[in-house]
Structures are given as C-alpha cells and as structure tokens.
Structure 1
Amino acid sequence: MRPTVHDIAAEAGVSLATVDRVLNNRPGVRSVTRDKVERAIAALGYVRDVAAANLAKGRTYPLIFILPAGENSFMRGLEAEVRAAMARSAAERTDITILSVPAFDAPALAAALLDAREQRPAGVAVVAVEAPEVAEAVKRLREDGIAVVTLVSDLPGSERDHFAGVDNIAAGRTAGSLMGRFLGGREGPVAVLAGSMLVRDHCERLEGFRAVMSEDFPGRRILPVVEGQDNPALVETLVDTLLDKHRDLAGIYSLGAGNRGLVSALEKAGRAKAICAIAHELTPHSRAALVTGTIDALLNQNAGHEVRSAIRVLKAKADGLSVIAAQERIRIDIFLKDNLPVEQA
C-alpha cells in the first residue's frame, strides 16, 4: 500500500497538522521538526497526490489564452475550442480568459503578454510570433513563476515551458512529398503561399517543403514565397497575379490560411483541376474545396487536442508535476476527399 500522511506522522512522531504544514510549506514548524517530517517522507517513499490535494482544497487554475484576431478560419475554430473548455471550467477547475491581438503583430502580442502577467494567472497559452520583444515578455512571465505554453506556432529559444502543436517541419515535408508525387511528370513551377514569415510554424513548413522538393524532386522549380497575411482577399489577389504571370503553374502549396481566396482565384480562372493545390487545416471552406477537387489534399492539426493539451500542461506546471510527453504529442492528419471525417451535426 502507498504510504499516507498518517504513516508520516507516526514515523516522525508528530501530529497530522504538523505534517500538513510541512507538505504545504506553511510557517509555524520548527526547523528540527520539519527535518524529522522530511526524513520520514523520504524513508517511506511518500509521493503526494497533488491533483487530489488541489481537488480537496477546491483550487481553481486561472488561465489566459492569447489568440490572433481576424478571419482565419482555423484560429476561429481554435477560439471555439477554448470557449468549449470555458464551458467545462467547473468540472476542470479552471477560470479561462481570452485575449485577442491583431494577427502577426509582435508589439501588440508582447503588450498582451505583459498585460496577462499583471493578472497573475497560473499559466498563459499563446499563439506566438517570433520576435525579440515577444521572447522577452515570455521571459518576464516565467521569472514570475507563470507557466507559458506556445500554441500552434512555437517560439524556440525562449523560456516557454511547452509547445502544443504539430511538428511543422514534418508537415512541410509531408506536403512536399504529396506535391511531388501528385504532379508526377507534369511540367511547370510550384508557388508557395504563406501567411507571414514572422511566425515559426510557417517558416518550418516552408523549410520542410523546400527540403523534400530539393531532395526528391530536384527538377521542380519553386517560386519565391508570397505572403497573404492569412487574409482571403489578399490571397485571392496574389493568386490572380501568380496565374497571370506563370501560365504553366503546376502546383500551389498554401502553408498558411486565407484559403477561401485561393479557391476563389483558381475557380474563377477555370484552373481548379489543372493546378495541384495542397493546403492546411480542415475548415468548412477547405472541406468543400477538397470535395470538389479544387484542393487536392489537406494537412490538419486537431485544435481541440491542442487546447486540451495546453490546459493539462499549464495545470501540471502550476503544480510542479511532470508532463506525459506521449499524451501531449499532436499528430498530423492527412485528408483527401475520400477519407474526410463525418461532419458533426
């Protein structure tokens, strides 16, 4: 049987109240008595069930999610998952707040992180923009003992605790393999659409995509990246220009959002079937385009899993517990029109 607080009290020759004070690091215990209790804990191999203790005390975890504003369908889906978690707050003992910032705006994101710091939450989850001021803001949160999880887009080199997202280099490599195989012997260059090269997930997807195209399909020309800021109207304009300038365009890899603009431009030009289009994230719009064949394949990350993972990690970090890496690994889904999941009513 696992040792209990009663066993500790008996081993150390002290009261249960004294054991409770030591376990919770409260004052009122002489150093010699504290040493006796700690020796008893070590001798018995006692491991405290922090989750049970917090449940007994009715502890609530205040958490802040910082998300980009705008029309990005995936981000709005991510926000919906956070709001679903808010609806479960009573059962999960969380108190979740959402802060919105303009997409790809590093100064605004850094300011939001510092605002979050002033609220003294147990943890912060943030869709990161890679910039020095953002990394510095994360550092200041961590200095105050506030856990930080980057969500969807990472901030490597910072002092964040955990990244809840897919391996984006692997995602880009997967897109490259699909593009090269789908095109086969069809001639012509491939265009790349990004949201912004200020975010790590887009940079890593591009890195993986270019690596595979160079290694496995070296004869294929990759055009310079164009950035659509995840804005459907801007993406449509950029794709219109690409189609006019490169009449022999064979493929388009959309590694960001704004895919409504991509679909509109391809269909308007009558080239939806002639150009291989590979994109990210399963949304109502991208699903419809996959069904019609305008998009050939979608790489997807499960927003609900990412939000639930972020909450689990932030709570564990607040309690000083370790994270189960396998449980928090976010997989990359590959969807064709033939294996789409059934839409939920």
Structure 2
Amino acid sequence: MTESKYRKTSIIDVAKAANVSESTVDRVLNGRGGVSREKEARVLEFARKLKIDRALGAVSARWLRIAIVMHRPDAPYYVHVKEGFELAQKAFEEQRIICAVTFFDGFGPPEIAKTLLRATQKADALVVIAYEHPEIVAAVRQISRTIPVIALATDLPGTGRLAYVGADNRAAGRVAGELMGRFIGEAGGQILIITGLHELLGHAERESGFRSVLERQFPTCEVVETLESRERPEVTERLVRDAFRRNPAIGGVYNTSVGSEGIADGLRALHKARKTIFVGHEFNANSRGLLLDGILHAVIDENPFNEATRCVELILRHYHRNPSQSAYKPLPVAVMLRENLPPID
C-alpha cells in the first residue's frame, strides 16, 4: 500500500478542488467569516466530498439571511407562515440562519416587485408568496440569478426559482371536487367558487382540478359563478350574499383561498348554513370551529410550519450545509373533517 492511500484530506486538497485559496478554506472551516456565499458553499461541498477529517456539522459558518416576502398577515394563513419561519429559525439555530419577514408595500405588481428587490439586497435566499405577473416574474428572475429562490404555496414557473414548496394544488382541487360531489349527492346542484386571485397559479390550479372532477364524475353539479376575493377576507361575506341573490338555488360553496369565516357569516345571515355544502382550505382555529359547528364540511389542510421547515432545508442544502436532504416532493393532500380533528394542545 502506498502512503497516499492513507493520507488524510487536507485544507490544500479542498482548496484545489474548490478552486479557492487555502486561507479561504481556513476561514470557512474555522468560522472566521469574510467569505462570499458562493465560495463558502463550494468549500463545504468539496470538504464533504473529499471527507476531510473534521466535524463539518459543527462548522461555525457565516449567518445565512433568508428573506421571506409575502402579503400582510390579514388572514390566518399568512400569520401561520410567519410563525412557521420563526419556529424554523429556532429549529435550525445551529445552522446559523436568520429568517427576515417582509410584507409587500401594496398589492400591485410595481409595489411587489419593488419590495422583492429591496428585501433581497443583503439576503442569501428568498422565499416568496406572490402571483404571476410579467413585472413580478421579471423581478424574481433577476433575483434568482444571484441567490436561490423558493416559491411558497403557489408556484412561479419561468423565474429560475430553485423549487416550489407546497401542496399539489391541482390535486387539492380534485380532492375538493370529489368531496363536494359526494356531499351534494346524485341530485347535484349549483356550485359557487370563491377564489383569492386568478393570477395566483395555486388558486387557478385548485379551481381547474375542482372543475375537472365535477365535469368527469358529477355532471349534475354545475359551477354557476367564480368570484374573486382578492385575498381580502372581509369581502367574502358580501360575495356570498350577492351570489345567492343572483342564484338562490346554490347548494355548494368551494373556497380556494382565505376568508372562510366571512363565507360562514354570509351563509348564516341567509339561513343557508345548514343547507349548503361548504368546502375550503387551510386548517386553523377558525376553520376548526366551523367544522365543529357543521357549517364547514371539509378542509383541505396545509401545514405552514412544515412548509417553512422544508424551505429552510432546501436553502441549507443549496449552500451545502444540510446535504443529507433529498430532493423536494410536493406535500401530500390532507383532509380534515369534523370526525378526525386533532386534539387541542
């Protein structure tokens, strides 16, 4: 046996493989800072590949700043997303990450694009919940050229994003369609869809999946209207009232977005709460109460903490700080009914 077969990997070997200086490798492995994110990622990647004799999991690397940019938390989902990243930051404390949440200045494309560019000036990664618009897509594409981007809850294809994290929205819509058709029964009836934003790919996919199942399996169910709440929970009650005035025979409501409590208030005011099949998304304290009251029949659940955790894992994997994580797969669709509610902590 030659001596080289027994020689341990050195800083010199890692420096050559990563095409950086020995001092850069030393700074990364000893947590001295002052190294760009790209060079740090390369050093950690080749240090692991070459199996340097060092506990890389304990390397005190520089802090990674993750910018999370989304709409203001007027609805429980966005509140829970924010809380999810706060918990994820604590869970990955040893990996030295900072989750910085920023809210859009406004709802229009120029405001969203401006907020994205400002929030990522000193960031190492971006997690974004936004709708598709040429101006927004262009801003995300520009950002993705320099840092990894994760599209959360609704995808942003064509932006160069690293990954999409969230449920398979088309599958979620199909599940909602199956539930609606079976709850209404063979006689069928008129269905109202309330969506958040047509521009949000996730909402469009949910509606598409919902409609496809009704058309294929429940032809006696007819979607009579799709109304847009613009993700403003306070408007959903008015939308329901107006829709029932136009179509008094509505027998089912499918909400692809936020504002289920407003829909419930509208159904109560119209004395339709016990006569209308109601299927929505996102399990929270409000939807739990509506399930227990028998007003909301089923909820397609998302888990913001799991989503936040997966976003952080993908970013750490990109920077070779968590290489054991496998490639991302969409989260499974979960259905909450009154009879399978988890106990309250």
Which TM-score tier does this pair reach, normalised by the shorter chain?
0.7 to 0.9
Give how far 1:102 is off.
Answer: 5.3
Secondary structure (helix, strand or coil) at the match of 1:58 reads: coil
Secondary structure (helix, strand or coil) at the match of 2:240 reads: helix
Answer yes or no: is the 8 Å Cα contact 1:105–1:129 preserved in 2: no
Structure 1: gaps spanning 5 or more residues: 1-6, 30-44
Give how far 1:11 is off.
Answer: 5.2
Tell me the distance in 2 between the aligned counterparts of 1:183 and 1:13: 72
Question: Which amino acid in the other structure matches residue 186 of structure 2?
Answer: G
Match of 1:280 in 2: 281
- Provide, for residues 63-113 of structure 1, a one-character-per-residue CA deviation record: whole Å limited to 9, x for no partner: 111121142111111111112223345333212211111575332222222
2:205 matches 1:204:
yes
Tell me the distance in 2 between the aligned counterparts of 1:292 and 1:199: 30
Answer yes or no: is the 8 Å Cα contact 1:122–1:318 preserved in 2: no
Match of 1:108 in 2: 111
- 1:74 is matched with which residue: 65, 72, 77? 77
- Go from structure 1 to structure 2 and tell me whether the alpha carbon gap of 1:295 and 1:48 turns closer, same or farther (over 3 Å shift): same
Match of 1:124 in 2: 126
Tell me the distance in 2 between the aligned counterparts of 1:168 and 1:256: 11
Answer yes or no: is the 8 Å Cα contact 2:196–2:229 preserved in 1: yes
Secondary structure (helix, strand or coil) at the match of 1:250 reads: strand
Secondary structure (helix, strand or coil) at the match of 2:338 reads: coil
Answer yes or no: is the 8 Å Cα contact 1:104–1:129 preserved in 2: no
Secondary structure (helix, strand or coil) at the match of 2:69 reads: strand
TM-score (norm 2): 0.84
Secondary structure (helix, strand or coil) at the match of 2:339 reads: coil
- Go from structure 1 to structure 2 and tell me whether the alpha carbon gap of 1:202 and 1:14 turns closer, same or farther (over 3 Å shift): closer
Question: Which amino acid in the other structure matches residue 344 of structure 2?
Answer: E
Give how far 1:314 is off.
Answer: 0.9
Tell me the distance in 2 between the aligned counterparts of 1:295 and 1:14: 63
Give how far 1:12 is off.
Answer: 11
Match of 2:221 in 1: 220
2:171 matches 1:170:
yes
Answer yes or no: is the 8 Å Cα contact 2:177–2:210 preserved in 1: yes
- Go from structure 1 to structure 2 and tell me whether the alpha carbon gap of 1:248 and 1:90 turns closer, same or farther (over 3 Å shift): same
- Provide, for residues 4-56 of structure 1, a one-character-per-residue CA deviation record: whole Å limited to 9, x for no partner: xxx99935989934224224432379xxxxxxxxxxxxxxx954489953632
- Go from structure 1 to structure 2 and tell me whether the alpha carbon gap of 1:141 and 1:322 turns closer, same or farther (over 3 Å shift): farther
- 1:139 is matched with which residue: 138, 141, 148? 141
Secondary structure (helix, strand or coil) at the match of 1:18 reads: helix
Deviates more, 1:218-227 or 1:199-208: 218-227
Give how far 1:118 is off.
Answer: 1.6
- 2:86 is matched with which residue: 73, 83, 88? 83
Percentage of matched positions with identical amino acids = 24
Tell me the distance in 2 between the aligned counterparts of 1:90 and 1:322: 17
Question: Which amino acid in the other structure matches residue 263 of structure 1?
Answer: A
Match of 2:4 in 1: 10
Answer yes or no: is the 8 Å Cα contact 1:150–1:164 preserved in 2: yes
Give how far 1:155 is off.
Answer: 0.7
Tell me the distance in 2 between the aligned counterparts of 1:49 and 1:152: 38
TM-score (norm 1): 0.84
Secondary structure (helix, strand or coil) at the match of 2:154 reads: coil
Answer yes or no: is the 8 Å Cα contact 2:184–2:251 preserved in 1: yes
- Go from structure 1 to structure 2 and tell me whether the alpha carbon gap of 1:51 and 1:14 turns closer, same or farther (over 3 Å shift): closer
- Go from structure 1 to structure 2 and tell me whether the alpha carbon gap of 1:14 and 1:220 turns closer, same or farther (over 3 Å shift): closer
Give how far 1:205 is off.
Answer: 0.2
Question: Which amino acid in the other structure matches residue 212 of structure 2?
Answer: A
Q: How does 1:18-33 map to 2 (within 5 A)?
A: 18-27=12-21
Deviates more, 1:268-277 or 1:81-90: 81-90
Secondary structure (helix, strand or coil) at the match of 1:294 reads: coil
Q: In angstroms, what is the RMSD of aligned CA positions?
A: 2.8
Give how far 1:221 is off.
Answer: 1.4
Answer yes or no: is the 8 Å Cα contact 1:65–1:126 preserved in 2: yes
- Provide, for residues 236-275 of structure 1, a one-character-per-residue CA deviation record: whole Å limited to 9, x for no partner: 0010111222211110001111111101111122211100
Tell me the distance in 1 between the aligned counterparts of 2:155 and 2:67: 17
Secondary structure (helix, strand or coil) at the match of 1:193 reads: strand
- Go from structure 1 to structure 2 and tell me whether the alpha carbon gap of 1:113 and 1:210 turns closer, same or farther (over 3 Å shift): same
Tell me the distance in 2 between the aligned counterparts of 1:132 and 1:213: 32
Give how far 1:217 is off.
Answer: 1.2
Answer yes or no: is the 8 Å Cα contact 2:105–2:115 preserved in 1: no
Secondary structure (helix, strand or coil) at the match of 2:59 reads: helix
